[in-house]
Amino acid sequence: MRGGSVERYGVALLTGGWLLSLTAQAFSSDLSPGLLLGLIDVGVLVGLIRLSWKSPHPWPAFACGFQSLAVAAGFARWIDPDLNLQVHLALLAVAGYGAVLARTLGAWSRARG
């Protein structure tokens, strides 16, 4: 509703990644479906990098940082399979909400400015 084409693309990218993650969780019957979730996170990160490369706005760079945290959480689970599931999910939640917050603030400042 707010912002320009950069913000709309960002919403589509983050929403698409979220829906793919929910689908992966539903099909795997697991809260953290491993490799598939990691691939989805890497795909969203690549999309955000592409968006931040062309964008005159700073929010995609911050969203890239949070999405990099989500990719790192996936690698942490592969490196240490005994990693506490609550810690892993908390890290993914912080990364996801951070990316959404960056996009929201970007859309809000774009609409005001």
Concatenate the DSSP letters of all residues of the chain into one string: --S-HHHHHHHHHHHHHHHHHHHHHHHHTSSS-THHHHHHHHHHHHHHHHHHHH-SSSHHHHHHHHHHHHHHHHHHHHH-TTS-HHHHHHHHHHHHHHHHHHHHHHHHHHHH-
Per the structure, how many domains does the chain have? 1
pTM, two decimal places? 0.80
Domain range enclosing 63: 5-112
pLDDT band (50, 70, 90) for residue 110 = low
Tens digits of residue pLDDT in 46-74: 999 998 887 888 888 888 888 898 888 87
In the predicted model, what is the mean pLDDT of residues 22-50? Answer: 82
The rounded distance, in Å, linking the Cα atoms of 55 and 102 is 14
